[in-house]
Amino acid sequence: MSRTPSRLRTRLVSVAAAVGIAAGSVVAGAAPAAAAPGSGFGFAAGGTLLTLPQGDLDRELDAAANLGAEWLRVEVSWRNVEPQLGVLDWSNVDRVIESANRHGIQVLGLVSYAPSWAQVPGPWTLTPGGRPADPQAFGNFAGRAAERYASTVSHWEIWNEPNLPLFFSPMPDVDAYAAILRASYGAIHAAVPGATVISGGVAIGNNTAVTIAPETFVDELYKRGAASYTDAIAVHPYTFPFTPYDDQLGNWNDVAAVRDVLVRNGDAGKKIWITEFGAPTGVAPDAVNDGQQARILADGITASEGVDFTGPIFVYSIRDNGPDLADREQNFGVLRGDFSEKPSADVLRNAN
What are 137-164's pLDDT values in tens digits? 999 999 999 999 999 999 999 999 999 9
| 48 vs 215, higher pLDDT | 215
CA distances from 105 to 62, 152, 258, 352 (A): 10, 10, 28, 15
Measuring CA to CA, which residue among 277, 282, 285 is closest to residue 324?
Answer: 282
Q: Do residues 290 and 232 lie in contact, with contact meaning Cβ atoms separated by under 8 Å? A: no
Q: What are phi and psi of 350, to 5 degrees?
A: -100, 5
Average pLDDT over residues 157-177: 95
Residue 122 pLDDT class (50, 70, 90 cuts): confident
Kindly report the pTM of this predicted structure. Answer: 0.89
| Mean pLDDT computed over every residue of the chain | 89
Average pLDDT over residues 327-345: 97
Least confident of 16-20, 122-126, 282-286: 16-20
Query: Can you give the pLDDT at residue 98?
Result: 98
Domain with 134 in it: 5-349
Residue 130 pLDDT class (50, 70, 90 cuts): confident
Query: Can you give the pLDDT at residue 79?
Result: 94
| 170 vs 195, higher pLDDT | 195
Residue 124 pLDDT class (50, 70, 90 cuts): low
Average pLDDT over residues 85-90: 97
Q: How far apart are CA 41 and CA 173, in angstroms?
A: 30
Q: Give how many domains the chain has, as a whole number.
A: 1
The CATH number covering residue 164 comes to 3.20.20.80
Residue 352 pLDDT class (50, 70, 90 cuts): low
What are 296-315's pLDDT values in tens digits?
999 999 999 999 999 999 99
CA distances from 312 to 239, 287, 288, 336 (A): 17, 25, 24, 24
Q: Do residues 331 and 281 lie in contact, with contact meaning Cβ atoms separated by under 8 Å? A: yes
